[in-house]
Structure 1
Amino acid sequence: MYMITMRLVGSHGTSAAPADLRELLTAHFDPADRIEHLWTRADGDRVDLVLFVLAGCEAEALLTARAACLRAVAHSPRLVAWRLSDTADAGDGREYH
């Protein structure tokens, strides 16, 4: 299992993240993504995400987590003003068993 960190950022003038952000994201995760857990922490116009992903290697976990988050944001009308940051989505390389 790999721990992957990412960040969602809001557009300028975006209000706070929805209180049910975790549910909004996980509703669009697929069982094939093998995401075991999602932790979120909102701070103004940014949200830190920590995903625990079952995968064969870190690169696979990162690609899967990124694709799942992009899919969730694209299909959640309440997240239209949010996007994945290009600077905080480079997994931290920690493996958990």
Structure 2
Amino acid sequence: MQKLLTVIFLCLLSATALGEVIQVTEVPSKWKLENYIGDNVVAWYTSAPCENGRIILPSTTTRDDRNRFWSAVLTGKASGKEIFVRYDTTTCEIVSFGVSAQ
């Protein structure tokens, strides 16, 4: 019985740890970019269903990738062009991003 409970627990744990990766594509005119101590970049008020539309770059993101994300969002804001962001629905961490081809 203990083994069965352990297996069920591990299955539930792995199911919640693996989220689905989905994409939002929009003009980021209403997004708020914020850089926290430790160089953590967060985008708020996206159309993602995460709390307050919050999507975040993972802690393993390189400085160059953080700069590219910042540039992509600001380019979208300034030009009115759509950008896309793919993120994990469980963690709301960004998996990839880019400027949409229009």
TM normalised by structure 1 equals: 0.27
More RCO (CA 8 Å, sep 6+)? 1
Write 1 or 2 for the structure with the bigger share of helix.
2
* Structure exhibiting the larger radius of gyration computed from Cα positions: 2
TM normalised by structure 2 equals: 0.26
